Chains A and B, each alone.
Chain A
Amino acid sequence: MTILSVLRFPDERLRTKAAEVTEVSDAIRKIVDDMFETMYDENGVGLAATQVNIHQRIVVIDVSEDKEDPIVLINPEIIAMSEKTFINEEGCLSVPGNYAKVTRHETVTVRALDYNGNEFTRDGDELLSICIQHELDHLAGILFIDYLSPLKRQRIKTKLEKEARLAKANGS
């Protein structure tokens, strides 16, 4: 398996809308495997294909404590969500080191294809619910910082651009 490179905000490619997967082939499964490898390596709980510059509707998630509950969502679609919302702190592998409170639906039901191309539905609450909403946003080119005020978003953008400049200057 391969550890993929994660795009960092403000990379414009993060704004690309992902295309439907037409067939869950071995090539798609290889992408899923690599995405899991990348997500675990980055210590994340979810990863959308958009974040690794693959613009297809693929998401991997594992919010379990012991990293033993991998969830594959291919062509995911939220088919139900609670009216009730809650506010939680979120972070994003594409916006490293930045965390902010975002309002999300408390529970969602997602319909998707699994690793073998079989359709299934899954309910999510707590962190899983947040993660599903966060990752599906990625597939639509939306980042969690889009929910913040323009001022906060700009501050994060400036900070990350500065970090990228410094890293480049240091040759890393």
Chain B
Amino acid sequence: MQPLNIIFAGTPDFAAQHLQALIDSPHNVVAVYCPPDKPAGRGKKLTACATKQLALAHDLFVEQPVNFKSEEAQHQLAQYNADVMVVVAYGLLLPKVILDTPRLGCINVHGSLLPLWRGAAPIQRSLEAGDAETGVTIMQMDVGLDTGDMILKASCPIESKDTSASLYEKLAALGPRALIETLAKMASGDYSKEPQQDDLSTYAAKLDKSDATIDWQLTAKVIDRKIRAYIPWPVTQFTLTDSDQKQHKIRIWQASIVEAQSAPAGTIIQADKHGIVVSTGDQAIRLESLQLPGKKAMSAADILNGRSDWFIVGQQITGTLCQPM
């Protein structure tokens, strides 16, 4: 196999794990593209993304164009004379001129079994929708949003306790293997491309903080999936009004479905060391790990030790977050 010259483009840790696999492979990473550094944390200090940090640690060339609209950025990329560009969670749209620049074009590692869940948040939306399995698809990129021909797919089951965080880890293990296998096929010229069936496609809309509010009228299954899908971000939340009429936003980090007596949705029906049980549209959800405003996540038992007055059996908790003005 003739090693390929690769440009890698990616941003978060998920992308960096793919870059690590490329560094460890026989192929040559000729340049790493990532977005410009962004202010992060309370100090708003400029921070390099995970991909850049890894690239610098391996003395790779790093490019951080704002976009690829300028001829200068396009020319710069062409100068690397790469065989293929590997794109993983990059966050920038690539115009056709860039897609056509490397000899074998650009390939993307997408976190779903395409054509399901094209778009920004495939892992979370798949979990939220109740899919039995997810996976990665290595795709030849075209100008559409995740519409390119598929080269290789690898799947894994979604377990009942999986969160987006745990699925990310699974796919971050699956993706690099699939990528290396794909590149081996591309290097030898022995690969085929399968067009996606557009009529089977679904769209994974970007997550928004406003999506994270719990509607207790939904079924316990749906709420449970949403809780798991929104970990580690934005984390589902509900609003609790205390006896002084102050509202508190409470985040849910762990929960499970339980059989329960019937009560209006959003009623606390049990609060003890086993957890805080809240009725839903059908069954109930036991809240096991919660985060109070300004605190770290804690077990429900620990929270009840200090704040049992906030969680009174019979009390209604709302989904809406509404801080007074």
Chain A residues with a Cβ under 8 A of chain B? 42-47, 65-66, 68, 88-93, 95-97, 99, 126, 130-131, 134-135
Contacts and interface: CB of A to CB of B under 8 A. Distances in A.
Given A68-B42, A89-B320, A43 B325 contact: no
B241 A97 contact: yes
A51 B322 CA distance: 18
B325 A90 contact: yes
A93 B324 contact: yes
B325 A66 contact: no
A42 B248 CA distance: 11
Contacts of A91: 247, 322-325
B324 A92 contact: yes
Contacts of A126: 210
Given A45-B324, A126-B210, A134-B325, 10 more contacts: A42-B246, A42-B324, A45-B323, A66-B42, A89-B320, A92-B324, A96-B245, A97-B245, A99-B320, A135-B325
Q: Taking chain A's interface residues, is the majority helix, strand, or loop, or is none over half, making it mixed? A: mixed
A43 B324 contact: yes
Contacts of A43: 246-248, 323-324
Contacts of A89: 320, 322
Given A91-B247, A97-B245, A126-B210, A46 B322 contact: no
Contacts, number: 44
A26 B246 CA distance: 32
Contacts of B210: 126
A39 to B, nearest CB: 9
Interface of B: 42, 209-210, 241, 245-248, 320, 322-325
Contacts of B209: 65
A93 B324 CA distance: 5
B241 A44 contact: no
B241 A90 contact: no
Contacts of A92: 324-325
A110 to B, nearest CB: 14
B322 A96 contact: no
Contact of B322 (A42, A66, A90, A135): A90
A84 B42 CA distance: 33
Given A66-B42, A96-B245, A44 B325 contact: yes
Given A91-B247, A126-B210, A44 B322 contact: no
Contacts of B42: 66, 68
Nearest to A134: B325
B325 A131 contact: yes
